Structure 1
Amino acid sequence: MNLDKVIFGFFIVLALTLNFGFCLGDIDNPSHHHVYELFATIVVNLVATILKFGDRSQMGAALLATSFVADLQLFAAAIMWGYSAHISMTFGQEGVMAGIVSLASGALLANVISVTILVIEVVMLRR
């Protein structure tokens, strides 16, 4: 068993599950989506992105692209959260949390694609 591959797979799956946990709940209810969970999702996605830099294959390029998409959408969600909570003071208004969760849901889709590519790569592996 290769420890590097275990750690790589761990962070990819953890990024997906944290992202799913953040998106779960009523889309417009702020009490169903915690800021620390979004923060943890961003950190784990960044670690997964850094781990994907070493792979030079075509599958590795696709994994890195999906990771960039997830990072971009999660950063946009965090910026939207910070702007609405601290600058414009519109955080509790209708639609703000829906926008944040929608961006995080886009990242969730990118993470699902990333895990699917990882599973395909493992299935195609020949011994």
Structure 2
Amino acid sequence: MNLEKVVFAFVILLAATLNFGFVYGGIDNPAHHHLWELFAATTVNLIAVVLKFGDRTHIGAVQQAASLVALLQLFAAALVWFFMAPKDGGPPDVDALSSIVSLAAGALLANGVSVVILIADTTIQRR
């Protein structure tokens, strides 16, 4: 068993599940979307991007591109949260929250592509 591949697969799957956990719920209900979950999803996606540096294969390049797209979407969601949240520290209003969740949903799609590529790459590997 290759420990590097196990760690990478773990991080890719964790990024997708954290992102799903943030997106899941009513798009207009702040109780369903927590700031720390968005932070965790962004951090794990950043780790996934860093882990993929140095891979010179074509599948690795597509995997890296999908990870970068997810990271960009999550950074955009975090920026919207930062600039649109009330200054008293409360949750963002419905309009801002729907934008945040929509951006995170785009990142979830990119994470889904990463998972599909990971599964495809795993199935074509020879021993």
> Shorter-normalised TM-score: what interval?
over 0.9
- Paired amino acid for 1:59: I
Does 2:32 correspond to 1:12? no
Q: Which string of whole-angstrom CA distances, capped at 9 and with x for unpartnered residues, describes residues 14-73 of structure 1?
A: 000000000000011111100000000000000000001121100000000001100000
TM alignment of 1:51-62, pairs within 5 A? 51-62=51-62
What residue number does 2:31 align with?
Answer: 31
What residue number does 2:103 align with?
Answer: 103
Does 2:123 correspond to 1:123? yes
Deviation, 1:90, is: 9.8
Identity of aligned residues (%): 56
The whole-number CA distance in structure 2 between the counterparts of 1:11 and 1:54 is 17
- Paired amino acid for 2:15: A
The 8 Å contact of residues 67 and 114 in structure 2, kept in 1 or not, is answered as: yes
The whole-number CA distance in structure 1 between the counterparts of 2:118 and 2:92 is 38
Q: Secondary structure at the match of 1:25?
A: coil
The whole-number CA distance in structure 2 between the counterparts of 1:92 and 1:75 is 16
**TM-score, normalising length: structure 1:** 0.94
Q: CA RMSD in A?
A: 1.6
- Structure 2, unaligned runs of 5 or more: none
The 8 Å contact of residues 19 and 41 in structure 1, kept in 2 or not, is answered as: yes
Deviation, 1:95, is: 1.6
